[in-house]
Chain A
Amino acid sequence: MCSIALSRVLFAPRVVPKISGTVSTRWYSDESKATKTPLYDLHTKYGGKVVDFAGFLLPVQYSDLSLSESHLFTRKSASIFDVSHMLQTNVRGKDCLSWFESICPVDLKGMKDGSSSLTVFLNEKGGIIDDLIVTKVNAETLYVVSNAGRLEVDKQHMKETSEIFRKKGNDVNVEFLETSQRALIALQGPKAASVLQKLTDITVEDLMFMTSRLGKVAGVDCRVTRCGYTGEDGVEISIPAEKAELVTEALLQSSDVKLAGLGARDSLRLEAGLCLYGNDIDESVTPVEANLTWLIAKRRRTDDNFPGSSIILRQIKEGVTKRRVGIRLETGPPARKGAVLKDAKTSETIGAVTSGCPAPSLGGNVAMGYVSEALKKAGTQLFVNIRGKDVPCAVAKMPFVPSKYYIKK
């Protein structure tokens, strides 16, 4: 498999209202009316600092660990993240593969039953509507997990396109699982598999990266998919809402496991080189520009029949003018979203940072951004302008921290 860039979850940061004068990277807001996930009480119980994130009340961190401690704990042991805010969708029907391939560049027909893939919803110009993980349960059933920040857009998109498809005489039905019905947790880190094995009838050793099984976890019927958003080995567990606490508490019985919040999730995914929708990718960029060309499955390149395929296939052949790259700042302040990137030789503006933060596993800072095609090579020296100062940085290979996915050697 190519170096996987699983990009998921988080949504464009918003404001911390109480210190809106002070904190400028706008992460969260506490507008109420936000939805509680099935694990809300558990977050409170364990000292979660809960914020409104894309309309859901979720913890940024817990009182027992700082963000970097939680980040490092995940890399050396295992953490549980509540990702119930993400949209889970079941798709059924004889023609479900064809429908899904009509909106994504994925090769579902070539995938084995029980395997999963990162893919993207594309608009007619090849722009990315959202990124998501699709699991081919079997030829007539799909299980899809997409971003909370795009929940309404994704629902609308799936509804509309499936309706049109149905009217042409095809058999496809889309069922959105509400947060009140279904929880989703991510268990991530080198000890995730051993912790899980003690509580499940699934043979975890046989569950390869990007495969998915139904099975019992702590006696509860769940769907377990070996994937994640941290660069570590791990799983995502889809659980009936009313049993979510039970399963999470059972996993937490192990001293190898702690709860982690959105803060660590963001720094982990950045070190892993994974995109955040709304920051690193959006409708204005194509998968080719986003350095996600590998998402255009081989067979689909020949078929030339996915949304925006003529533009995307031309870009693959002829190239693009800008490209998403990793950026490393060994010292100094972190480069955040919006910071202007310049060519170190000419001081000419050549792009901008789309997300960035300190890198607890590496020291210094990591970022992603778009640069002009001529400057995309790893090692290229750049400046990033932070509060009026040009800070030296360099284009770097991603992932910044080697991925530990469970792949057959």
Chain B
Amino acid sequence: MVVCSVFRVTSRLARSSLATQCCGRALYSTEQKGRFYTKKHEWVSVKDNVGTVGISSYAQDALGEVVYVQLPDVGKEIAAGDECGALESVKAASEVYSPVSGTVTETNKAAEAKPALINKSCYEEGWLFRVRLAKPEELQQLMDQAAYDKFLQDH
């Protein structure tokens, strides 16, 4: 996957004399507009080492209209894979697992007030919370868009 190779390059460069010069570019490359997905259908996109987390279109569709959102408290330290919130629809409850480790910096008040945003705009207005990444390398474990699309097809 693209993410993996970017990270290998970054870590090699970080130890070299070119570290400072390349740092910006290396960081930039982890900030690509893409979203990275978990097998549990959360996504994360990273900017300035802060990951924005939401659920995929597939997940919101399967869950149906979301009527209640429970998000982690700001300041909370979470590890990748931790259950850190929940979405409730008329038909089901769905736990939210963090795709990355770090400290929660912000939650989406708009989505908490109007959970339907998660159905309407799961990648934009309906994001859930933001995390300052403690282990940016964890992104390597996640799927990029192409891998996630394939994952959905195969399952």
B94 pairs with A19, CB closer than 8 A = yes
Shortest distance from the beta carbon of A215 to any chain B beta carbon, whole Å: 35
Chain B: which residue is nearest A387 at the CB level?
B86
Of A18, A21, A71, A266, the most chain B CB neighbours within 10 A belong to A21
- Which of A19, A25, A67 makes the CB contact (< 8 A) with B62? A19
Contacts of B93 in A (CB 8 A): 23-25, 333-334, 336
Complexed CA–CA distance, A23 and B86 (Å): 10
**A residues 1-47 in Cβ contact with B at 8 Å:** 16, 18-19, 21-25, 27
CB of B106 closer than 8 Å to a CB of A: no
CB of B4 closer than 8 Å to a CB of A: no
Majority-rule SS of B interface residues? mixed
Chain B: which residue is nearest A267 at the CB level?
B90
Shortest distance from the beta carbon of B57 to any chain A beta carbon, whole Å: 12
CB of A332 closer than 8 Å to a CB of B: yes
A22 pairs with B94, CB closer than 8 A = yes
A21 pairs with B39, CB closer than 8 A = yes
Q: With A66-B65, A333-B86, A334-B68 in contact, do A24 and B95 touch (Cβ < 8 Å)?
A: yes
Complexed CA–CA distance, A358 and B68 (Å): 9
Complexed CA–CA distance, A33 and B19 (Å): 60
Shortest distance from the beta carbon of B41 to any chain A beta carbon, whole Å: 5
Complexed CA–CA distance, A24 and B91 (Å): 10
Binary interface profile of B, 117-138, with partner A (CB < 8 Å = 1, else 0)? 0000000000000000000000
B62 pairs with A16, CB closer than 8 A = yes
Chain B: which residue is nearest A67 at the CB level?
B90
- Give the tally of cross-chain contacts (CB within 8 A): 79
CB of A54 closer than 8 Å to a CB of B: no
**A residues 43-80 in Cβ contact with B at 8 Å:** 60-61, 66-68, 71
**B residues 69-118 in Cβ contact with A at 8 Å:** 70, 86, 88-95, 97
Complexed CA–CA distance, A71 and B94 (Å): 21
B39 pairs with A67, CB closer than 8 A = no
Contacts of A27 in B (CB 8 A): 91-92
**A residues 262-276 in Cβ contact with B at 8 Å:** 263, 266-267
A263 pairs with B59, CB closer than 8 A = no
Chain A: which residue is nearest B95 at the CB level?
A24
CB of B33 closer than 8 Å to a CB of A: no
B91 pairs with A263, CB closer than 8 A = yes
Chain A: which residue is nearest B40 at the CB level?
A21
Complexed CA–CA distance, A21 and B62 (Å): 12
Complexed CA–CA distance, A266 and B92 (Å): 11
Chain B: which residue is nearest A21 at the CB level?
B40
Counting contact residues on chain A (CB < 8 A from B), the size range is 20 to 34
CB of A399 closer than 8 Å to a CB of B: no
Contacts of A357 in B (CB 8 A): 90-91
**A residues 334-378 in Cβ contact with B at 8 Å:** 334, 336, 357-358, 360
CB of B63 closer than 8 Å to a CB of A: yes
Shortest distance from the beta carbon of B96 to any chain A beta carbon, whole Å: 8
Shortest distance from the beta carbon of A49 to any chain B beta carbon, whole Å: 9
Q: With A18-B155, A332-B68 in contact, do A23 and B90 touch (Cβ < 8 Å)?
A: no
CB of B67 closer than 8 Å to a CB of A: yes
A25 pairs with B40, CB closer than 8 A = no
Chain A: which residue is nearest B87 at the CB level?
A22
B92 pairs with A23, CB closer than 8 A = yes
Contacts of B63 in A (CB 8 A): 19, 22-23
B88 pairs with A334, CB closer than 8 A = yes
**B residues 49-64 in Cβ contact with A at 8 Å:** 55, 58-59, 62-64
Complexed CA–CA distance, A16 and B41 (Å): 13
Q: With A16-B62, A22-B62 in contact, do A333 and B94 touch (Cβ < 8 Å)?
A: no
B95 pairs with A358, CB closer than 8 A = no
Chain B: which residue is nearest A359 at the CB level?
B90
Chain B: which residue is nearest A336 at the CB level?
B93
Complexed CA–CA distance, A181 and B91 (Å): 31
Complexed CA–CA distance, A24 and B155 (Å): 18
Contacts of B88 in A (CB 8 A): 333-334, 358
Complexed CA–CA distance, A19 and B96 (Å): 12
Contacts of B91 in A (CB 8 A): 25, 27, 60, 67, 263, 266, 357
Contacts of A22 in B (CB 8 A): 40-41, 55, 59, 62-63, 94-95
Complexed CA–CA distance, A389 and B41 (Å): 25
Chain B: which residue is nearest A331 at the CB level?
B68
Can you list 29 A-B contacts (CB < 8 A)? A18-B62, A18-B152, A19-B58, A19-B63, A19-B94, A21-B39, A21-B40, A22-B40, A22-B41, A22-B95, A23-B63, A23-B93, A24-B92, A60-B91, A66-B65, A67-B89, A68-B67, A71-B90, A332-B68, A333-B68, A333-B70, A334-B67, A334-B68, A334-B93, A336-B93, A357-B91, A358-B88, A358-B90, A360-B90
Interface residues of A (CB under 8 A from B): 16, 18-19, 21-25, 27, 60-61, 66-68, 71, 263, 266-267, 332-334, 336, 357-358, 360, 387
Which 8 A-B residue pairs are closest in the complex by CB-CB distance?
A21-B40, A25-B92, A67-B90, A23-B92, A358-B67, A66-B65, A333-B68, A22-B94
